[in-house]
Chain A
Amino acid sequence: MHISPANKAELRALMVPGAGLVGLGVIFGYLAPNFLTTGNLLNIVTQMSILVLVAIGQSFVLSTRNFDLTLGVVVALASAVCAIAVNSWGSTAYLVAPFVGIVCGMLTGCLVGMLGIQPVVATLGVLIGLRGVAFLVTGSGQVVPLADRGFATWAAYSNVFGLPPATWFVCGLCVLALWIAKRSVLGKKFVMTGERREAAQLVGIRCEHVVWKSYILAGFFAGCAGLVLLLRAGTGLPSEGVGMEMQAIAAAVIGGTLLSGGYLRIFGTIFGVAFLQTLLTGLNLIGTSPFVAQIATGAVILAAGVLEGAVKNTSEVGA
């Protein structure tokens, strides 16, 4: 079978988180007998579904050589606003969550892409502002319980072909993300803009629009993550998602995305999230303190950063 060099490069990047994942499986399988059970593995898949969406959104923005600090709060805001909407308009209002995400993405993307404000400044400003909005609409940050939990419980906890419908929904979004990254022209434009903005401009790509669209896409995925959060918790949680955008960046880096742009590796990002989630669940199962788990996560992110430098150096030598 002929594997194209592009796919080969991506497969090579997958080897690190892949090996890490297998390693974790072996270690935790030995330490905690109930780790390698179908139930627990499915549990990990379900638990990672929110972070996976945020991380995929973040990957799009990273590929254009930007980043988005608002994604965590977008998850929270989407879940809260969506809960309010569902309580007043019924189940069709679940569609509000992705819509909230898109609106937030349009705002941030406009600031970074069109007005050219530095991503740190723009997304930090929007982050703080949106947290305020989330607290305001929920009345001083109260959680918003769903009046009718029927649909949410079915979606998040029933079993359809082995997985809850919400998890299937996340899988569908992953496929969509993969299509955009691998097959769509937009995905190529993200990479072109992130890799060599001047060259992209020379062939007629309007880079500011491309950056804008990457933020909208990230917002959409974060909004969908907010929806999954609402379904699983049965409650809109306006103060959730703190630091999630950072975990998302970490997952993408573990998966072989470079912060310097030009790489869009959705499979890698999914592997990165799986790695982080497996680490956390495993540490939890062997009874480690959650604070130790935090230290471990931090160490993994640092290791990924060191690895990024190494990967970059070797690829430059190869070029």
Chain B
Amino acid sequence: MKKINTKPLLKAESIAKRYGATNALIDANLKVHPGRVHVLLGENGAGKSTLLKTLVAAVKQTSGRITFEGEAFQAKNVQEAMACGVVPVYQHLSLFPNLSVHENLSAFALAEREMQNVRRCLIEVEQAKASLLSVGLSVPLDTLVGSLSIGERQLVEIARAVGQNCKLLILDEPTSALTSTETDKLFSIVRDLCAQGTAVLFVSHKMDEVAEIADDVSVLCDGRTVVDCVQYSDTNESELLEAMLNAPVTSFKRQLPVHSNEIVLRAEGLKVSRNSNVSTLHAKKGEIVGLAGLVGSGALSIAEALAGARQISDGRITINDVLLMPGDRAEATKKGVGYVPGDRQTHGLFPILPALTNASASLTKQLDRFGFLKKNLEIETFEPWMEKLKLLPFDFELPATQFSGGNQQKIIVARNVALPHLSVLVLLEPTRGVDVRARQFIHDTIVEAAQSGATVIIASTDLDEVLSLSHRTYVIKDHCVCAQLTEGATRQCFIDALFSQSERAVA
């Protein structure tokens, strides 16, 4: 293993970033050395993307210092950062599918010109070919980018960055859409670039990739750097994983209600994506079943499928022995399947409608008389739930955007627990971005729903949440169930389950 013997190219010291009342970053540090691959690890919401945004000057940090090549980093926006040699390659690609590879490679040059012949503004054919070659891509220059695969597009984007005199290449979860062959290719290119002296910052949450590519590792957890630029050879996977999952709030063990033995929900031969293995799972009346997995494991996709919010590739889901049409939420709601989506902003809330309308969104059928919503009926239905959830401010007429994240989540939870024939309640990341007190109320409500006979499915990347709330937990990896944990399982059990499984897969 190479030793760190150079000064860091980029150094970020005690970066903090506050958005309103939430602290996205509290104390983040980062040192990236030229010619080395630095992997930044962290779960969703750990602050990785916020840290990246400060590095490319897309957001201004609240406090903290960034130095680049020994001097204070002055870039005011992304263009200036790129001109300095800090080039980000995002998950959502920033190429133009309708233009040719050559035109895409020349995009920076084109941006500076106006009424001129395009051909005279494109970069030299030789130069374009050379930069494509440097990423191991051999496609004709006039190929439309839209006809390339996602992996090839990413390579074009890296080629463009290389042609831009890139000193620090930032790859934000670059492998999330790649096949394993494409990933291998990407890794070998990253190593080549490093050999030529480019620094690479590689953001990821996949442990197996880290082992393959990392020279140095940093781990971010809840806005703080918990592992600061350690050589990968000096550490190991389970150490990093524990650092990554270390949550400051230790939840107390709660008494879960007794459940019956009657199986309500059954999924057989379930495949949520074409390439995944089949999963079989079931849940009983009054039982709380957890789906736990790392980010990208597919736990959320499986939960979406169980709620009828997602098309599945194969398999059948039944509720009380009645087949559930996959991907048909309207039908699922009629069968009493409540669903709290993972992203409340885009999939849950109607931001400018009042809280009450938001809450009653899924049961207008029960609340209307001849097409008119009966307001007193709405209030009667929701007031008890809102009181239990301690909605703050306790004002049903306030538009949803005026509530904090935790209270918005309470509204969505109330919408679902109030369903008249609630048989199954599926919750995705029920307390993501929610403060500790609201988390407590939401958890209480979930347990209460189970007590009154509903089957509850919780899919979350927040391990503590799943393990402390569930009677039984399925461990999800690569979009399928790989192990099962019983009530009272610890974080270590989960980590063991993940690793024993991957060893079995290797052997």
| Contact surface of A with B, Cβ cutoff 8 Å | 4-6, 9, 183-189, 191-192, 195-196, 198-205, 262-263, 315, 318-319
Report how far A90 CA is from B110 CA in the complex, Å. Answer: 43
Residues of A close to B112: CB separation below 8 A:
204
Q: Is B123's beta carbon under 8 Å from chain A?
A: no
Among the interface residues B93, B116, B117, B118, which one has the most CB atoms of the partner chain A within 10 A? Answer: B118
* B247 → A minimal CB distance (Å): 33
- In contact, B144 and A6 (Cβ under 8 angstroms): yes
Contact of B96 among A191, A201, A318 (CB under 8 A): A191
- In contact, A188 and B97 (Cβ under 8 angstroms): no
Residues of B close to A187: CB separation below 8 A:
118
- In contact, A5 and B99 (Cβ under 8 angstroms): no
Report how far A208 CA is from B108 CA in the complex, Å. Answer: 17
Q: Is B3's beta carbon under 8 Å from chain A?
A: no
- In contact, A199 and B96 (Cβ under 8 angstroms): yes
Contact of A196 among B96, B113, B144 (CB under 8 A): B96
Report how far A315 CA is from B142 CA in the complex, Å. Answer: 18
11 residue pairs of the A-B complex, CB under 8 angstroms, read A183-B119, A184-B117, A188-B118, A191-B98, A196-B94, A202-B79, A202-B82, A203-B108, A204-B82, A205-B111, A262-B96
Given contacts A188-B103, A202-B78, contact A5 B147 (CB under 8 A): yes
Residues of A close to B107: CB separation below 8 A:
192, 203
Question: Nearest CB to that of B103 among chain A residues?
Answer: A188
- In contact, A195 and B98 (Cβ under 8 angstroms): yes
- In contact, B117 and A183 (Cβ under 8 angstroms): yes
- In contact, B95 and A184 (Cβ under 8 angstroms): no
Q: Is B114's beta carbon under 8 Å from chain A?
A: yes
* A154 → B minimal CB distance (Å): 32
Given contacts A184-B117, A188-B118, contact A4 B100 (CB under 8 A): yes
| Binary contact track B108-140/A, C-beta < 8 Å → 1, others 0 | 101111111111010000000000000000000
Report how far A171 CA is from B99 CA in the complex, Å. Answer: 27
| Binary contact track B359-380/A, C-beta < 8 Å → 1, others 0 | 0000000000000000000000
Residues B85-109 near A (CB distance < 8 A): 93-100, 103, 107-108
Residues B425-463 near A (CB distance < 8 A): none
Given contacts A184-B116, A185-B113, A191-B99, contact A5 B108 (CB under 8 A): no
- In contact, B103 and A5 (Cβ under 8 angstroms): no
Report how far A286 CA is from B144 CA in the complex, Å. Answer: 45
Number of A-B contacts (CB under 8 A): 86
- In contact, A192 and B96 (Cβ under 8 angstroms): yes
Report how far A191 CA is from B95 CA in the complex, Å. Answer: 12
* A183 → B minimal CB distance (Å): 5
Question: Nearest CB to that of B95 among chain A residues?
Answer: A199
- Top 6 closest pairs, chain A to chain B, by CB: A199-B94, A204-B111, A4-B142, A203-B107, A185-B113, A205-B111
Report how far A202 CA is from B146 CA in the complex, Å. Answer: 19
Question: Nearest CB to that of A261 among chain B residues?
Answer: B98
Report how far A166 CA is from B26 CA in the complex, Å. Answer: 69
* B145 → A minimal CB distance (Å): 9
- In contact, A183 and B118 (Cβ under 8 angstroms): yes
* A286 → B minimal CB distance (Å): 40
Report how far A184 CA is from B116 CA in the complex, Å. Answer: 5
Residues of B close to A203: CB separation below 8 A:
79, 94, 107-108, 110-111
- In contact, A186 and B115 (Cβ under 8 angstroms): yes
Q: Is B143's beta carbon under 8 Å from chain A?
A: yes
Report how far A89 CA is from B147 CA in the complex, Å. Answer: 56
Report how far A9 CA is from B146 CA in the complex, Å. Answer: 11
- In contact, B119 and A189 (Cβ under 8 angstroms): no
- In contact, A263 and B143 (Cβ under 8 angstroms): no
Residues of A close to B82: CB separation below 8 A:
202, 204
Report how far A189 CA is from B115 CA in the complex, Å. Answer: 10
Report how far A315 CA is from B145 CA in the complex, Å. Answer: 13
- In contact, B142 and A262 (Cβ under 8 angstroms): no
Residues of A close to B146: CB separation below 8 A:
315, 318-319
Contact of B144 among A5, A184, A198, A202 (CB under 8 A): A5
* B173 → A minimal CB distance (Å): 18
Residues of B close to A198: CB separation below 8 A:
94
Report how far A6 CA is from B99 CA in the complex, Å. Answer: 7
Report how far A185 CA is from B108 CA in the complex, Å. Answer: 12
Question: Nearest CB to that of B78 among chain A residues?
Answer: A202
Residues B173-215 near A (CB distance < 8 A): none
Report how far A188 CA is from B117 CA in the complex, Å. Answer: 10
